[in-house]
Chains A and B, each alone.
Chain A
Amino acid sequence: MADSTRSDRSQPPVTRRSFLRAAGVASGAAALGPAVLRRRAEAQETASPVRPDPAGKRGGTLRYGILNAPAHFDVHQSGTVSNLGPQSPMYDTLIRRNPKDGQTIIPDLAWKWDIAPDGKKYTFHLRKGVKFHDGADFTAEDVKATYERICRPPRGVVIPRTPLFATVGDIVVVDPHKIEFRMTESRPRPYMLGAFASGWNIIVRKKSLEDNGGNLRQVMNYPGTGPFKHVSRQDKEVWIQERNPGYWNKGLPMVDRLEIYNLPAFSPELGSAFLSGKVDYARIMDPVSHRKAKEMPGVTAVAFNQSVVQAFFMNIPKNKALADPRVRRAIHLAMDRPTLVDVVKDTAPMQVGGFVYPFHPMSTPRAELDKRLGYQKDIKPAVQEAKRLMKEAGYANGLKNLDFVVRDLATFRLWAVAIQAMLKEHLNIETNLRVVQTSVWFEEALAGNFDLAISAIVSSLMDPSELFSAWYGKDGPSNYSRWTNPAFHDLAAQIERELDDTRRTAMVRKAEDMLENDPPLIPVSYEQIADAWYNKVHGQNPTTFFGIYDVVRWDNVWLS
């Protein structure tokens, strides 16, 4: 999309002839203008790049297996695919990621957008004639209400994506189909556009928010504008949706009905439901079922990147030894990552990575990372260096009785034992494992009741600035190690403001180096998602997707 630019043409002097001509044109325009302009505006409104496949067949029921037991129904307040999985087909966003590649940002309810050259104003031009499922017209007021809520949630409403819009100041409705976001400070365009295109930021009706006091947690079926409409839902079993015949993107969706089954991630239930043909498409399969699916004729099984890091935390304020960056780096180097990935290979698919998503273009390239200490297959040089660092820090004899809090999930239980052995063997660090339920883990982590801890943390965007703020930020919500490093925080602030990609990449690499030497957490590995589908399902191939939170609408999918 073209950004708006200011034209600076020199003005000719006003003569009597030019004045009369201008007056004539002006009066004519006054009489005919609105109609002409309206027609021009309508002509300008471009269709969505997501079009029905000309070879595609209409109709049928897509049976989709995914975790579908949301704790509540408020997509904005959620951070789990339990919501996005079943609910996203009923909603649209302002802009979106193209379902063909999962990367390119394309129009959605906004058919066009302009960004001021200084990056301080985002103007969205909204589609006309779009209706919510309850028949109400979609207008800029709905966008304003949605984003006011996301940017500045009312008390008792917690929206994980709020920090992405920290620099959004006024949200101004210019006219019913045009809205401006005025920023207090500019942010890199990929960052802001990524935030607007996030699948979480569905547009809801202003009235839905008003009627429910701004809280949709217990409102199951609030109207959206999306390609599918709610039909019925059975808690923790199935959510059934039907084609929205009045969908603004004509010709879509291709399938008549969606049956979204609650089948938990990595579970044998999901695997068996898929392998026995009870669902057509399975998301987040366990590796064993996924391997079996790969061998099945007529099935496609792929793995793709996910926005989750499996992280090991070290409580800096509580433990003097762990406050020493050398000790943390030693622990970082003592982790045999390729082995840790292998340990859980039958439980969840993982990949080795550093402090930034290893598949992000700004992160250290894989080939370079593989040569770096701590990431190599041969762990001996890294362990040698780790021992040297421990000695230098005054802990040559290791550490004893460290409380290692483990989140009670299969992957973490397996890793905890492996990490315990690695730390003991390589650095003589003795740990006491304490396996706790997820809710207890977060309680303990927030209260600082641990020396070492392991869990997964997520990000809303792949952009490094999001990680630098949420995972490594001074008050970052996932900074359970309570790590601070003023030099890093300054650099992160610069990265957040830097608009030039090349300079930004260099700064990100510098930040990575800082994190390598003073680790706020230890990236054990990065999760991958394993999907499988029967080849009768067309139009969805997530191989190049980033995570499972952006391309989640099923509007272009068809069944043969």
Chain B
Amino acid sequence: MQKYLVRRALFALGTLVGVSIVIFVVLRVLPGDPLVAILGVEGHSRMTPADRVRIMADLGLSAPLPVQYARWISDISAGQLGKSFFRGDTVAELIAHRGPISAEIGILALVISWVVGLPVGILSAFKPNSIPDGLARALSVFFIAVPNFWMGMLIVLGLLFWFGYKAPILVVQVWQDPWQNFQIVIGPALVLGLAQGAYIARMSRSCLLEVIGEDFVRTARAKGLRERFVVMRHALPNAMLPVITISGVLLGFVLGGSVAVEQAFGVPGLGRALVTAVIERDIIVVQNLVLLYALIFVAVNVLVDLSYAWLDPRIRFG
């Protein structure tokens, strides 16, 4: 187990190093001048070459790329995430302020996806080709097919034009005002959660259909066990492994999707901060946020791997 953990940690570290190099290089290779955002269109067009040299040096962008990369990694190792190019706000402050909202959305979306997806999958699997199964499958395809941001915009517009309602426009943390906070996170969480729930429903349906045809399920039924017990105790745990695996992958979709969904809902989370930073070419903010997202994704997938042993005693690490 220990050996397995060390190996997974090393893989995770390698992945993060890879991500850091890719994002670092991409941000510097892509065309686009961050000074346009800093100085504005007018200021940029009036900037002299001497001004450019001075400003780029101030921003730390005139050093050779390996030096810039080494500085960044050394800052991260020291727990310093650097400052935005523009206003001098620290990335750590940004994450501390907006991170909880995005985390809430992600967790809530995951919960919704399981709470909705799993029962629907079970229902479909145990009553295949019935009307509820058909409806569940149609809805699953609908939520998978419809882009998250579009669904988000429809909800925002619907609430606004029919009820004159809009969620709070500022960050309100859950410990400050739970009700206001709930209004901010519930929309994006629902949109993301239903989309992921559709995947989980389809996956759990197909896994369960496979499992309920197995001998041990037939044996359980033959023993005279109640159907609920057969499902919950025998069939479901054996069908869960692929569902849990896909949940880890889906978290990546939730993280990625949150960028567009936060934008559509106007939620001031990290995803939205990332979009703004990309538009502004705020390199320090972008590279740190992307690395944070990668870190979360890798960590969740390690946890998913570890959960296999708990769910299926047949699996042994080593």
Residues of A within 8 A of B (CB): 69-73, 77-80, 155-160, 162-163, 217-218, 220, 234-238, 261, 263, 268-269, 272-273, 275-278, 436-440, 442-444, 446, 456-458, 460, 477-478
Contact = CB atoms under 8 A, between A and B. Distances in A.
B43 A158 contact: yes
B17 interface: no
Interface stretch (B5-13, B203-211, B251-259, B276-284): B276-284
B166 interface: yes
B156 A272 contact: yes
B89 A235 contact: yes
A442 B170 contact: no
Contacts of B170: 234, 237-238, 261
Nearest to B273: A236
Contact of A443 (B33, B51, B157, B165): B33
A312 to B, nearest CB: 16
B23 interface: no
A278 to B, nearest CB: 6
Interface in B30-52: 31-34, 36-48, 50-51
Nearest to B93: A235
B234 interface: no
Interface residues of B, number: 47
A237 B268 contact: yes
Interface majority SS (helix, strand, loop, mixed), chain B = helix
Contacts of B50: 155
The residue in B34, B54, B166 that gathers the most chain A C-beta atoms within 10 A of its C-beta is B166
A456 B41 CA distance: 9
A273 B166 contact: yes
A20 to B, nearest CB: 63
B41 A272 contact: no
Contacts of B44: 158, 442
A156 B51 contact: yes
A436 B170 CA distance: 31
Contacts of A79: 39-43
The residue in B33, B36, B40, B157 that gathers the most chain A C-beta atoms within 10 A of its C-beta is B40
Q: When A and B form their complex, which 9 residue pairs have the shortest distance between CB atoms, in order from nearest?
A: A79-B40, A156-B54, A79-B42, A477-B45, A160-B42, A276-B166, A218-B88, A439-B32, A439-B36
A73 B164 contact: no
B153 interface: yes
A506 B38 CA distance: 40
Contacts of B266: 268-269, 272
A164 to B, nearest CB: 11
A198 to B, nearest CB: 12
Given A235-B94, A438-B36, A477-B42, A156 B55 contact: yes
Contacts of B45: 442, 446, 477-478
B145 interface: no
Contacts of A236: 268, 273, 276
Contacts of A160: 40, 42-43, 46
B86 interface: yes
Contacts of A437: 32, 279
A273 B31 contact: no
Interface string B155-169: 011001000111011
Given A158-B43, A439-B33, 13 more contacts: A70-B87, A71-B37, A71-B280, A77-B40, A79-B40, A157-B51, A158-B47, A160-B46, A163-B46, A261-B169, A269-B169, A456-B41, A478-B42
Contacts of A460: 42
Contact of B87 (A156, A158, A220): A220
A291 B168 CA distance: 23
Contacts of A273: 166, 169
A439 B281 contact: yes
Given A158-B46, A277-B164, A439-B32, A458 B41 contact: yes
The residue in B41, B50, B51, B266 that gathers the most chain A C-beta atoms within 10 A of its C-beta is B41
A71 B86 contact: yes
Interface in B53-74: 54-55, 58
B238 to A, nearest CB: 47
Nearest to A77: B43
B281 to A, nearest CB: 5
A276 B164 contact: yes
Contacts of A234: 97, 170-171
B160 A77 contact: no
Contacts of B166: 272-273, 275-276, 278
A235 B279 contact: no
A276 B165 CA distance: 6
A65 B86 CA distance: 22
Contacts of B281: 439
B97 A72 contact: no
Contact of A71 (B31, B38, B97): B38
Contacts of B39: 71, 77, 79, 158
B256 to A, nearest CB: 20
Contacts of A73: 87
Nearest to A442: B36
A464 to B, nearest CB: 18
Nearest to A159: B43
Contact of A72 (B86, B157, B164): B86
Contacts of B58: 156
Nearest to A271: B160
The residue in B39, B94, B97, B266 that gathers the most chain A C-beta atoms within 10 A of its C-beta is B39
A69 B276 contact: yes
A278 B43 contact: no
B43 to A, nearest CB: 4
A273 B97 CA distance: 22
11 contacts: A159-B43, A160-B46, A218-B87, A220-B87, A234-B170, A235-B87, A237-B170, A237-B268, A269-B169, A272-B166, A477-B45
Contacts of B36: 438-439, 442-443
B100 to A, nearest CB: 14
Contacts of B38: 71-72, 217
A155 B57 CA distance: 12
